[in-house]
Amino acid sequence: MGQIEGVEVIFRPRIYCFSVIIYPMIKEEIVKLLETALEKMKVKDIAVTVETPANSIHGDYSSSVALKLTKTLKKNPFQIAQEIMANLPKSTLIEKVEVIKPGFINFWTAKNSLFDSLDIFVNGNFNFPNVNLGPNKKIMVEFGHPNTHKLLHIGHLRNFSTGESIVRILEAVGNKIIRTNYQGDVGLHIAKCLWAIKKLIKEKGDKSIIENDLTKKIKLLGKAYSDGQLAYEKSEKDKQEIIEINRQIYDQDKKIIDLWTMTRQWSLDYFNEIYKRVYSHFDRCYFESEMDRSVEISQNLLKQNILEKSQGAIIFNGKKYGVDTRVFINSLGFPTYEGKELALAEKEFVDFGELDKCIHVVTPEQTSFFKVTFKVEEIIDKVKYGNRQYHLAYEWVNLKKGKMSSRTGNIIEAEWLLDEIKKQIHKKFKNTPEVEEILAIGSAKYSFLKNSTDKAIAFDINESISLEGNSAPYLIYTYVRTRSILGKNLMNPKVSYPKQVLDEEKNILRLIYQYPQVVAKSATNLAPNLIANYLFELAQEFNSFYQKCPILKAPEDKKYLRLQITKATGQIIKNGLFLLGIKTVEKM
C-alpha cells in the first residue's frame, strides 16, 4: 500500500535530563549529509530518500540517490556513490558508511546513539515522530459496520482489528481520533428477517418464540434471515410481502416498528458484547435509519443538475468525472447506500468540528462506491470534503470453500472463532481463563494484522496460536521471558556500558533503535502489518541473542547492557502489541 495522500511527517526531538534524544533524527541527519555532499558536487533539484534495508548486513539506512544521477552526471552509479561518500561531512551519529554496487550508499548508526535510545526505551518512553494528515491533527476512523439482524463473522473481526489498530497508531503519532461506526439497521435484509419472525409468531399464535437469553435471540435472528432470504428467492408472493415490510420499516409503520425496535436492540446488545471482547469502543455510532435527509439531499442535487433522472431513478453520471455511474435514489423512491452516504458525510463532518481526514475501513468491493460518493461530496463542497476522505480497503478472510455468505448460513461466526481459539489455547497452554482469553483475542487479531490489508487471508487456528511461528503467543511468550529474566536481576545501576559490543548485541540494538520510525511509517501508510512484522523480527533477534549471550552470569558491564536490551525489548513488544490492540500477560 502506498503512502496516504496529504500526510505530513514531522520528527520531533524530546528532551530528558537536559539531553536531546536523537534517535528519531538520524534518518533526517543522513538526508542532510547527502544533500550537503550533493551541493559540494554542484548537484541541485534532486530528491534525497533514505530507507531501512531489508537485511541488516547492508547497514541501518541506505540511499539509492546515486542511481538517479547517472544521466545528469554521465557516470556509472557506483562512481557517483563513491564521490558522494567522499563529500559527506563527518557526523557523530554515524559509525560507518559503505558503497556497494550498483550504487547504494549504506550507513551504520554510531554505538553511542544506540545506547542513548536504549536508555529511553527501557522505561517505556517512546517519542514517536508526528504524522499528521492535516493542520487540525483530527482524524475520524470509521470502522465496524455490522448490519443488525445478522451474525458477526470472521470478516468483521478483521475489520475491528484493523480499525482499532489504525486508531491507536494514529493516536500514538500525535492525532486526536474520533472513533465512529456506521451500522445498517434498515434495508431488505432486515425485512427478510422480520418476515420470517412474523411467520413464526403467526404459526405459534403468540410471541413464545422470543427467548430471554441473548445467545438464543441471536441464533433466532440468524435462522430467520436465512429463511427469509430463501423465501424471497423462491416465492413471488413472499417476495412482495418482504418488500412491503421493507417499506413499513422505512415509514416507521406501527405494524412493524415494535418488532423492528426489539430485534434491533438484540443485535446492538450482541455487537456491544463483541466490541468489549476485542477492546473496541466508539465515540459515535451512526445508523442507516438516521439518514432521513438522504432523499432531500439527492433531490436538491437533482435540481442543481449534479444528479440526474434515469429510468425512474436518481443517478450520478460519473463518466464525465472518470468514475462509475451509480444510483442514489432507486425507482421505488428509496435511498440507496450512495444516497445515505451523503447524509452520513453531512453528519460526520459537522458533529465533531472540522476534520482533516475521515478514514473508512471497508472491503475493496466498495472501491467504486467510495470513488463516486467522494466525488459527489467534493462537488457539493470542495472546501469541506475535498481530499478529506479515504477508503482503507481490507481484503476478505477467505475459507477453503470460498467467500463467506450469511445468506446460506455457511459462515465462520466471530464469537465461535474466538471461543474455538480459546479452547485450543486451553489444550496447549492450560492457563487461567483470563490469560487464555487474552491469548485468544491476541491470536485472532495478530493473524489479521501481520498481513497487509490488501492481502486475502485463509485463517488457520493452529498457525494463529503457534509458539514456533509469527503469532501473538510467540510475541507474548518473548515478552514474558523478558519479564522473567528481569525478575531475577541483581543489577548494579552504577555500572556503565561496555566499550566493546558483540555483533549479537549490536544487531538487536540497531533493531531496537528503529522502533519509532517503524511506527511512523506504519501511520504514514496506514499499515499495522509493518509494526507486527517488526515485532516478530525483534522477538526472533532477542531469542537468538538470549541463546548466544548469557545475561545474568555475564561480567557486570556486559550484564548491564544485556539487561537494558532485555528491558527495552520487553517494553517495545508490550507497546507494539498495544498499538495492534493486543494485551500482554506477565505469566504464561
The three grid cell numbers given for residue 318, joined into one nine-digit string: 460519473
Cβ contacts of 223 within 8 Å, gap of 6 or more: 196, 409
Is 142 a residue whose pLDDT tops 50?
yes
CATH class of 8-109: alpha beta
Amino acid at 472: A
Residue 124's pLDDT is: 86
Distance separating alpha carbons of residues 561 and 563, to the nearest angstrom? 6
Is 569 a residue whose pLDDT tops 80?
yes
Is 543 a residue whose pLDDT tops 90?
yes
Rg of the chain over CA atoms, in angstroms? 28
Is 354 a residue whose pLDDT tops 60?
yes
For the chain, the structural domain boundaries read: 8-109
Amino acid at 191: A
Is 403 a residue whose pLDDT tops 80?
no
Residue 20's pLDDT is: 32
Once rounded to an integer, what is the mean pLDDT over residues 221-238? 95
Is 464 a residue whose pLDDT tops 60?
yes
Residue-by-residue DSSP string for 471-489: SHHHHHHHHHHHHHHHHT-
Once rounded to an integer, what is the mean pLDDT over residues 463-490? 93
Once rounded to an integer, what is the mean pLDDT over residues 245-272? 95
Question: What percentage of the chain has pLDDT greater than the value 70?
Answer: 92
Q: pLDDT: is 470 or 491 the higher one?
A: 470
Distance separating alpha carbons of residues 321 and 376, to the nearest angstrom? 10
CA 454 to chain centre: 11
Residue 12's pLDDT is: 42
Amino acid at 139: I
Residue 170's pLDDT is: 98
Distance separating alpha carbons of residues 478 and 469, to the nearest angstrom? 12
Distances (CA, A) of 368 to 158, 183, 375, 393, 552: 21, 20, 11, 11, 59
- Binned at pLDDT 50, 70 and 90, residue 584 comes out as very high
- Binned at pLDDT 50, 70 and 90, residue 7 comes out as low
Burial class (CB in 10 A: 0-12, 13-18, 19+), 321: middle
Query: Where does residue 322 fall: left (phi above 0), alpha (psi -120 to 50 degrees), or beta otherwise?
Result: left
Once rounded to an integer, what is the mean pLDDT over residues 401-417? 67
Once rounded to an integer, what is the mean pLDDT over residues 538-549? 96
- Binned at pLDDT 50, 70 and 90, residue 16 comes out as very low
Q: What burial letters (b/e) apply to 454-467, b meaning 16+ CB within 10 Å?
A: eeebebebeebbbe
Distance separating alpha carbons of residues 237 and 23, to the nearest angstrom? 70
Distance separating alpha carbons of residues 266 and 263, to the nearest angstrom? 5
Residue 211's pLDDT is: 65
* Whether residue 102 has a cis bond before it, omega within 30° of 0: yes
Is 267 a residue whose pLDDT tops 60?
yes
Is 409 a residue whose pLDDT tops 60?
no
Q: Which of 187-196, 208-217, 517-526 has the lowest mean pLDDT?
A: 208-217
Residue 240's pLDDT is: 97
Write down the mean pLDDT value for the chain.
91
Residue 275's pLDDT is: 98
Is 213 a residue whose pLDDT tops 70?
yes
Is 64 a residue whose pLDDT tops 70?
yes
pLDDT tens-digit series, residues 518-530: 999 999 999 999 9
